[in-house]
Structure 1
Amino acid sequence: MEIIRFAELKAQPWRNGGGVTRELASHSTSTPSPDGAGPGSTGSANGWDWRVSIADVSKAGDFSAFPGMDRVLTVVEGELLLLIVDGAEHPLEKYRPFRFSGDDAASGALPTGDIRDLNVITRNGLFKGYTSIIELSKKRAHPVFERQLGILLQGQASVTPGAAGSGRADVEPADSAAGAAGAAAAEPATLARYDAVVGSDTATPEILGRGFLAVVSIDSVGD
């Protein structure tokens, strides 16, 4: 089970000085990951085909262009981002994902103050990214499958590895039983705000708690 600790990520300043970005995960098809390009793999700094990151925006201004990319932006802290895409204004409220093209000229205004946003950027023709915001439960665990990241946005939560093969239909019952016993013995790991859980279909992580979770899915085009 892999957890990306937000507190350990290095903040990269924007070129225009309007904020900083912390990369949670990225992938380049030139350096495929062993598990089939799932979140948690890292591609080259300038040649990734998808990236998941969290940005702090402290000043109004232009957004970087990402030609040939598709973007999904979600405000996760703060009240409002006024996103202007090709001259059209889009008021983005907290926890409402918004998709737009990386080819479009985009800028942001901060009518209510600084914000933090979650960015999912994918290369057209290769990958498609999706962001869903869900409310966690202490009674029913939320699984995080392969090619997904589960990011704690607010509240308190813990994660445990699920039964081996819990997300697969081709696992023998004996294997599943052994995996379940191992999962039961595993100690839950506490998640801090903006920590990300890397999904898996062989021992699917399960998150319990109270608060809100962003589930980012990266799908290969043609899958």
Structure 2
Amino acid sequence: MQIIRRRDLVETPWKNGGGITRNIAEERDDRGALWRLSMADVDGDGTFSSFPGLTRILTVIKGDGMVLHGPDGDLQADYANPVRFDGAAPVTATLTQGPIRDFNLMFDTARCAGDAQIVRNAGPHQVGQAGQTGVLHVIAGTASVHGADLGVGDTAISTAAPLRFDLVQDAVALTITLRPQG
């Protein structure tokens, strides 16, 4: 299991130069990116970078939200509500009430299946199983993973076994499961 602290993340420019992202983790092989996790600060309306061959699941983790305008219509990306869309689609965003921070999962759909869920119930939980990658990202409050406390913006990743965690009262977490395809 790996724990990535928010304070250790490095800011880098977006692919399209329109903002800042913080890469959390990724898995690559000789064919390219299998999956990638990142956080981005969005201060204004704008165009998303294109990532052909990848599916995106975006979750607003701070702020009110935004509307994603794409070829298949509009997606309402509200706080703690994961939305899925084609990474190659031409998407523009309109903020609904000021700046936001979002968490991005991008994965190669041909080689990997991905899912994202919000957890709000206090107590013990599990994400993933053997042969899968399980991810926990703390949005609000705190969580405990194998005796380590995670705060807002911290992420835990397990690739060998289910990721078990305890969520405190009034905390909000994002869980992700990634499964190899084929």
**Residue 201 of structure 1: how far off its partner (Å):** 4.8
Q: Flag structure 2 segments of 5+ consecutive residues without an equivalent.
A: none
Secondary structure (helix, strand or coil) at the match of 2:30 reads coil
Seen in structure 2, the aligned counterparts of structure 1 residues 110 and 30 have a Cα distance that, compared at 3 Å, is: same
Determine which of 143, 153, 164 is the counterpart of 2:139: 153
Q: Is the 8 A contact 1:159 1:208 kept in 2?
A: no
Seen in structure 2, the aligned counterparts of structure 1 residues 67 and 204 have a Cα distance that, compared at 3 Å, is: closer
The two structures have a TM-score, normalised by structure 1, of 0.73
Cα separation, 1, equivalents of 2:57 and 2:161: 28
Q: Is the 8 A contact 1:120 1:130 kept in 2?
A: no
**Residue 5 of structure 1: how far off its partner (Å):** 0.7
Cα separation, 1, equivalents of 2:45 and 2:29: 34
Seen in structure 2, the aligned counterparts of structure 1 residues 64 and 203 have a Cα distance that, compared at 3 Å, is: closer
Cα separation, 1, equivalents of 2:83 and 2:135: 18
Seen in structure 2, the aligned counterparts of structure 1 residues 204 and 83 have a Cα distance that, compared at 3 Å, is: closer
Q: Flag structure 1 segments of 5+ consecutive residues without an equivalent.
A: 32-46, 161-187
Seen in structure 2, the aligned counterparts of structure 1 residues 87 and 219 have a Cα distance that, compared at 3 Å, is: closer
Matched to 2:179, the amino acid is D
Seen in structure 2, the aligned counterparts of structure 1 residues 198 and 57 have a Cα distance that, compared at 3 Å, is: same
The count of residues paired between Structure 1 and Structure 2 equals: 178
Secondary structure (helix, strand or coil) at the match of 1:153 reads strand
Cα separation, 2, equivalents of 1:218 and 1:63: 23
Q: Is the 8 A contact 1:29 1:49 kept in 2?
A: yes
Q: CA RMSD in A?
A: 2.0
Seen in structure 2, the aligned counterparts of structure 1 residues 2 and 78 have a Cα distance that, compared at 3 Å, is: same
Q: Is the 8 A contact 1:144 1:199 kept in 2?
A: no
Seq. identity, %: 31
Once the two structures are overlaid, the 10-residue window that deviates more, 82-91 or 55-64, is 82-91
Seen in structure 2, the aligned counterparts of structure 1 residues 202 and 73 have a Cα distance that, compared at 3 Å, is: closer
**Comparing both structures, which one devotes a greater share of its residues to helix?**
1
Secondary structure (helix, strand or coil) at the match of 1:7 reads helix
Determine which of 150, 166, 170 is the counterpart of 1:191: 150
Determine which of 74, 83, 86 is the counterpart of 1:101: 86
Q: Name 1:143's counterpart in structure 2.
A: 126
Structural mapping, 1:1-223, within 5 Å:
1-30=1-30, 47-86=32-71, 88-137=73-122, 140-145=123-128, 146-160=132-146, 188-202=147-161, 204-210=163-169, 211-222=171-182
Q: Is the 8 A contact 2:12 2:21 kept in 1?
A: yes
**Comparing both structures, which one devotes a greater share of its residues to strand?**
2
Q: Is the 8 A contact 2:143 2:165 kept in 1?
A: no
The two structures have a TM-score, normalised by structure 2, of 0.88
Q: Is the 8 A contact 1:199 1:205 kept in 2?
A: no
Q: Is the 8 A contact 2:134 2:163 kept in 1?
A: no
Runs of 4+ in 1 over 4 A off after TM superposition: 200-204
Q: Is the 8 A contact 1:197 1:205 kept in 2?
A: no
